[in-house]
Structure 1
Amino acid sequence: MSAAFAPAGPARRWHWRSLRLRILLAVLLWVSLGIGGIWFSATRLFAKHVEQQYHEELEVHIKELAGLVRVAPDGRLRMDRPLSDPRYLVPLSGYYWQVSLPGRETIRSASMTRGRLDQSVAHDSTIHHHIEDGPTGPAITYGFLRDAPGAGQVHYAIATDERLLDEAITRFTRELTVWLSALALALVATGLAVVSVGLRPLDRLARATARLRAGAAARLEGDYPTELAPLVGDLNAFIDHNRQTVERARVEAGNLAHALRTPLAVMTDEAERLAHRETTRNAGRILLEQGQVMAQHIEYQLARASSAAGARGPGTASQIGEVLTPILSAMRRLHPDREFLLRAPTGTGAVWPVDPVDLAELLSILLDNAGKWSRHQVRVELAAEPDLPELAVIDDGPGLTPDQIARACDIGTRFDTAMPGSGLGLAIAREIAGAYGLRLTLSPRADGASGLEARLSALPDGA
């Protein structure tokens, strides 16, 4: 179907070129970047903070440990009291300490029921730390040396399982991911709602434009936001100006026809007088022939100008039933010995985007031509689909040969000079149809019977 007659279906809102999709993709991009940035920076900051807290805590604990351990006169290590953190008393809790004196007994925390800490971390009086294997896996181990007068160097070591730090970071990361994901979904939903609500006036404008194209409205209707109101106002002004231009063109075409027909009629009368005189008979006949050619071209060009002026204008539409019914009545009076039948499976309420005046002229030409050549009956058939501009006028006359069909729409073509007519009807009908994106085709009847079938149908896309 021609694009000019294609029904205005629902807009593809999420097509890759749609404004909605572009805005939503921009929202998704910024939400992804924002949430991703927050997630990355928050997890890194939390991990850094927790690591620093663990390290500070272990430094405090090892200093506390060094303050509580005493070397007895017999060289044995003693503690005044347990460390303040009770986790060092829970077996295999992940918190351990160990104090040793070379050649003497090593004391350990109650939590270290198996394994030992690597004393190599305590190699001078400065507190050092590194990751070593502990009783329950890799552990962050702190250690330093302190001289014991008369006893040697005491090795202090304290450790915390690295998994405890990793678990804290993992829990935080998991909870943060859940909350940020919920926030991202909420932001995307909000963006979708904003896009839907914010662009709703464009939907109304699209519907109003569709009504305008379908002929259901003469102007763009509705109230629009301040951003769209100037555009709508300009479009309505253009539509009004276009309509006025079309009306002026029709009036001017009528004026031109009247202005040309009168002097042409005078010239024709004079040519007929000359043709009746013996001395000027040849000249009169030539003038009459040329006058007829001039009249044909004037009628044809005026019809072209009239149809082109109204073709495809905004709000241009005709209800086929309202146009066809009075024409059929007129044809029954004009050809009383012919039967004019209408077959419309879906009724005659279909709307065609064709100017009513031009559609009436087009149908009148086809029906009058069929009435002249038919023997008994002329049948008008409408398409089964109400939105499909298709109509066929079928007569039961003698029909045309393929060569005659090829020349039937040429200007001035008359296959029977005894039949009244100017040879312009089908040429004008073809011009009117083409101006509105319709195709007029002539062919023998599809049922094989004698006669001619004139069919109006929408041009295919790109035609």
Structure 2
Amino acid sequence: MINSLTLRVSLIAALMVAVFAVMTALALERAFRDSAVHALEERLQAQLFLLMGAAEVDTDGRVSLPERLPEPRLMLPDSGLHARISDGAGMTLWRSPSALGLSDPSLQTRMFQARMTVDWETSAGVVPLTFTLREDHTALEDQMGAYRRSLWGWLAGLAVLLLAAQSLALYLGLMPLRRVARELRAMEQGRQSILTGRYPVELKALTDSLNDLLRQERAQLARYRDGLADLAHSLKTPLSVLRGSLESGHERSGQQHMEDLEQLERMDRIVAYQLRRAATAGHRTLAAPLAIAPVVQRLGRTLDKVYPDKGVILFDRVSSDCHLRGNEGDLMELLGNLMDNAWKYGQSRVMVSAAMKGRWLTLQVEDDGPGIPSDQVPVILARGGRLDEGVPGQGIGLAVVNDIVDAYEGRLTIGTSTLGGARVEVRLPT
């Protein structure tokens, strides 16, 4: 297998040009031969009529023709054109001078022939005569040979020009791919971060997807790095408190024991939050679309089992065509936190809506609970804010949701629901 796109296309193009040239040459040669043979046969027929017009027959059935025949070639020996007049019994009554020296021109097989038998009326009666005109293939073959040489010469020249044009077109057509390869090598060497060239529409989807993939991988790496740094920074204070408590050497009271447990719980929440944040995959251009409706229905059934005493009624307003290109775990984490808060703090009604608007997916989760005060929204959505001071009852769910939305380059807003409680709206690119 040839491992070169240029060489493959060049070989295919050369083969196609060669087949085209050969088939064209054969077709044109066949058409020219048919035309030449037809013209020769018509000429022979016309010459036969001229010969009949010049012939004279006397009362004894003798045939005579003038010394100057209508066709000069009939008077030239070895001209390739022969004429013969015979009677009803096949006996030769007249032969053209061009047939002199030939034993019997009729025995030559490679000849074109025109023949006509007529009843010639004389004063003595009717004389049956057969006029025969023959011409050999030499002139036609010479003509075909000259035509064939000219035809193949021109077709060979055209084939060379076509191959040169195709090579130029191939070189220019594959230039964007070579530019992509050069840019990828530059990225490997650290000289650039993304593909920056202007590419034709056929490659734009590919280069845009590569750039999106590169940005997503860098964003994922940054989230891992930031998560580890934030984790180390956030654990420093509770670890210092625990170390100081353990190094004091004093007998530990119940209050001190509760403080230690509080620090341990705080550390557990920090680790859980940072792990969730670092694991967020973000928008994936090449990912398969994830349907929203089945996820909402599955989470609704799960939350009914988690909160069986609340009897929450779910109003499902999710369109069947809604989808998201991303990680299923991110979608479950996002909707799970929003719907869990709605089930937890709502009274009896929760409404989940989703709709596609252009290239954006809009998700809304509403409840009939106490809602979220507008002055507390910035605190809830602040990066890691809940881990230090938080809003009572909200946990780290909204902080995780906010990080997922940021990873997908979306937007999160919190307002008042028509049901009377909180309305959380998320817009994500699809």
Question: TM-score normalized by structure 1?
Answer: 0.47
In the TM superposition, residue 53 of structure 1 has moved relative to its aligned partner by 0.9
Alpha-carbon contact 1:77-1:105 (below 8 Å) kept: no
User: 1:84 pairs with 50, 60, 70, which one?
Assistant: 70
User: 1:138 pairs with 100, 110, 129, which one?
Assistant: 110
Alpha-carbon contact 1:142-1:157 (below 8 Å) kept: yes
Is 1:115–2:90 an aligned residue pair? no
What amino acid is the match of 2:3? H
Where does residue 195 of structure 1 map in the other structure? 170
In the TM superposition, residue 189 of structure 1 has moved relative to its aligned partner by 1.8
The change in CA–CA distance for 1:229 and 1:272 in structure 2 (over 3 A counts) is same
Residue 224 of structure 1 aligns to a residue in which SS? coil
Q: Which runs of 5+ in 1 are unaligned?
A: 1-11, 119-132, 280-286, 310-463
Residue 221 of structure 1 aligns to a residue in which SS? coil
Where does residue 45 of structure 2 map in the other structure? 59
The change in CA–CA distance for 1:257 and 1:268 in structure 2 (over 3 A counts) is same
CA deviations over 1:305-330 (Å, ceiling 9, x no partner): 89xx9xxxxxxxxxxxxxxxxxxxxx
CA deviations over 1:441-462 (Å, ceiling 9, x no partner): xxxxxxxxxxxxxxxxxxxxxx
In the TM superposition, residue 193 of structure 1 has moved relative to its aligned partner by 0.9
CA deviations over 1:173-232 (Å, ceiling 9, x no partner): 332222223222221221121111122111111110111122221222333335444544
Where does residue 261 of structure 1 map in the other structure? 236
CA distance in 1, matches of 2:57, 2:45: 21
- The higher relative CO (CA closer than 8 Å, separation ≥ 6) is in 1
CA distance in 2, matches of 1:153, 1:234: 92
* Deviates further, 85-94 or 100-109: 100-109
The change in CA–CA distance for 1:104 and 1:266 in structure 2 (over 3 A counts) is closer
Residue 131 of structure 2 aligns to a residue in which SS? strand
Where does residue 97 of structure 1 map in the other structure? 83
In the TM superposition, residue 79 of structure 1 has moved relative to its aligned partner by 0.8
Where does residue 288 of structure 2 map in the other structure? none
CA distance in 2, matches of 1:232, 1:47: 56
**Aligned pairs for 1:301-320 within 5 A:** none
CA distance in 1, matches of 2:142, 2:227: 89
CA distance in 2, matches of 1:67, 1:265: 132
The change in CA–CA distance for 1:22 and 1:74 in structure 2 (over 3 A counts) is same
Q: Percent identity?
A: 28
Alpha-carbon contact 1:212-1:219 (below 8 Å) kept: yes
- Name the Cα RMSD after superposition: 4.0
CA distance in 2, matches of 1:252, 1:166: 89
CA deviations over 1:3-36 (Å, ceiling 9, x no partner): xxxxxxxxx9x625x2x45544554465455444
Alpha-carbon contact 1:205-1:220 (below 8 Å) kept: yes
Q: Which runs of 5+ in 2 are unaligned?
A: 253-259, 282-430
In the TM superposition, residue 242 of structure 1 has moved relative to its aligned partner by 3.7
Q: Hey, which of these two has a bigger chunk of helix by percent?
A: 2
CA distance in 2, matches of 1:94, 1:117: 10
Residue 156 of structure 1 aligns to a residue in which SS? strand
In the TM superposition, residue 163 of structure 1 has moved relative to its aligned partner by 3.6
Question: TM-score normalized by structure 2?
Answer: 0.51
In the TM superposition, residue 240 of structure 1 has moved relative to its aligned partner by 3.9
Residue 196 of structure 2 aligns to a residue in which SS? coil
Alpha-carbon contact 2:112-2:137 (below 8 Å) kept: yes
Is 1:204–2:179 an aligned residue pair? yes
Is 1:15–2:3 an aligned residue pair? yes
**Aligned pairs for 1:25-424 within 5 A:** 27-28=13-14, 30-32=16-18, 34-73=20-59, 75-101=61-87, 106-112=93-99, 113-118=101-106, 133-134=107-108, 138-148=110-120, 149=122, 150=124, 152-229=127-204, 231-274=206-249
**Residues paired across the two proteins, number:** 260
CA distance in 2, matches of 1:105, 1:249: 111
Where does residue 396 of structure 2 map in the other structure? none
The change in CA–CA distance for 1:259 and 1:110 in structure 2 (over 3 A counts) is same
CA deviations over 1:333-381 (Å, ceiling 9, x no partner): xxxxxxxxxxxxxxxxxxxxxxxxxxxxxxxxxxxxxxxxxxxxxxxxx
In the TM superposition, residue 245 of structure 1 has moved relative to its aligned partner by 4.0
Residue 104 of structure 2 aligns to a residue in which SS? coil
CA deviations over 1:399-433 (Å, ceiling 9, x no partner): xxxxxxxxxxxxxxxxxxxxxxxxxxxxxxxxxxx
In the TM superposition, residue 95 of structure 1 has moved relative to its aligned partner by 0.9
In the TM superposition, residue 56 of structure 1 has moved relative to its aligned partner by 0.8
CA distance in 2, matches of 1:240, 1:104: 101
What amino acid is the match of 1:207? R
Alpha-carbon contact 1:96-1:159 (below 8 Å) kept: yes
CA distance in 1, matches of 2:68, 2:171: 66
What amino acid is the match of 1:80? P
Residue 159 of structure 1 aligns to a residue in which SS? strand
In the TM superposition, residue 37 of structure 1 has moved relative to its aligned partner by 4.2
Residue 229 of structure 2 aligns to a residue in which SS? helix
Residue 220 of structure 1 aligns to a residue in which SS? coil
